[in-house]
Structure 1
Amino acid sequence: MGSDGTQHGVVTTKDAKEMAYNEGLDLVEVSANADPPVCRIMNYDKFRYEQKKKQQEAKKKQTTVETKEIKFRPKTEEHDLNFKIKNIIKFLGQNNKVKITMRFRGREIVYSQSIGIEAMNKIADALKDDAIILQPPKMEGRQLVMFVGPK
């Protein structure tokens, strides 16, 4: 294909190189798997520049989702828990996922199924308007973990 979009049909490599040289442009192979291979006469530097610009534009429109983490313990008081819930809502407002972790130390592990699940359900109830639960509370070693994401 020529620089102006016209098709030249099947041409030998030597003739194609000569046509590109006469126009002061490059001969670029578009499809190597075709039989015969498809080539195009174009300004390769300009083509690379435009591709790079397209990639940058696509990158600008792309949003990244971070995972924030909130940690607390089974003996965390009511006020502190409410404060952490406010932070979770703030993170969800920024379109971030939140990992809520309750860590059990020493003999506290005995209360993981009672106090732990109860606290996690309380948080889930407080967040039901602002978030969806991506992963319900689950024990991972000595911690109870729950993931929530923005609605």
Structure 2
Amino acid sequence: MGIVPLEQALQLASDVDLDLVEVAPMARPPVCKLMDYGKFKYEAALKAREARRNQQQTVIKEMKLRPKIDIHDYETKKGHVVRFLKAGDKVKVTIMFRGREQSRPELGFRLLRKLAEEITEQGFVESAPKQDGRNMIMVIAPHRAVKAAAIKSGSEDETDELGVDVPVETETPAVDATPAE
């Protein structure tokens, strides 16, 4: 429309029953737009609500261990960690030291390293083991593919005739491997 005096712009806005909205106040001359401001605010609120709905919340589960854990207890706790990672959640593994155990942090470090090696298919160590007072902490995060599969399986599972969940398989597109010349 070009550069228009303020009075004329206000008159144009009132003639077409719209609002005169300043979109770039720092520009020389300031830039204004004719629009229905109420409708603009409503659509912006809808977009913000949709963006919040599509956000993925990061959940951190915690698993507490002791340095002198029995092998069966360790396997149970490891199973919980694997289940959390398959669900797409991060896991904070804490080893609690008491009394004389505090003088042997290498026991906790070995236990955390063993756990990390055994769950490499489900996740990776996001933060290495570090001593924090009486506790040693390590954070394990799921691989991106595992997390994506966990999100996808929550929406695309079907049940068979026995009522058992069966994941839906999707076709992968064929890739042309010929080099471009």
TM-score with structure 1 length normalisation?
0.89
> What's the offset of the Cα at 1:111?
2.2
Q: RMSD of the TM alignment (CA)? A: 1.1
In the other structure, the counterpart of 1:139 is 131
| Equivalence for 1:5 | none
In structure 2, give the amino acid aligned to 1:131: G
Q: Give me the whole-angstrom Cα distance separating, in 1, the residues matched to 2:128 and 2:33.
A: 55
Equivalences, count: 143
Q: 1:31: how far off?
A: 0.8
CA–CA distance in 1 between the matches of 2:82 and 2:131?
Answer: 23
Runs of 4+ with >6 A deviation? none
Question: Is 1:42 aligned to 2:31, yes or no?
Answer: no
Identity, % of aligned positions: 38
1: CA distance, partners of 2:78 / 2:49: 37
1:90 corresponds to which of 80, 83, 97: 83
Measured after TM superposition, the shift of residue 94 of structure 1 is: 2.2
CA distance in 1, matches of 2:42, 2:49: 11
Cα deviations by residue, 1:4-40 (Å, 9 ceiling, x for unpaired): xxxx211111111111111111110111111111111
TM-score (norm 2): 0.75
1:125 aligns with 2:152: no
Cα displacement (A) at 1:55: 1.1
**Deviation of the 1:130 alpha carbon:** 0.7
5+ residue gaps, structure 2: 144-181
Q: CA deviation at 1:71?
A: 0.6
Determine whether 1:80 maps to 2:70: no
In the TM superposition, residue 43 of structure 1 has moved relative to its aligned partner by 0.5
1:16 and 1:24 map into 2 onto residues whose CA distance is 12
CA distance in 1, matches of 2:125, 2:33: 52
Specify which structure has the bigger relative contact order, considering alpha-carbon pairs within 8 angstroms and separated by 6 or more residues: 1
1:31 partner amino acid: A
Alpha-carbon offset, residue 84 of structure 1: 1.1
The C-alpha deviation readout for 1:88-130, integer Å capped at 9, x for no partner, is 11111222211100010111112221x2122112211211111
Cα distance in 2 for residues equivalent to 1:123 and 1:142: 20
Counterpart in the other structure of 2:157: none
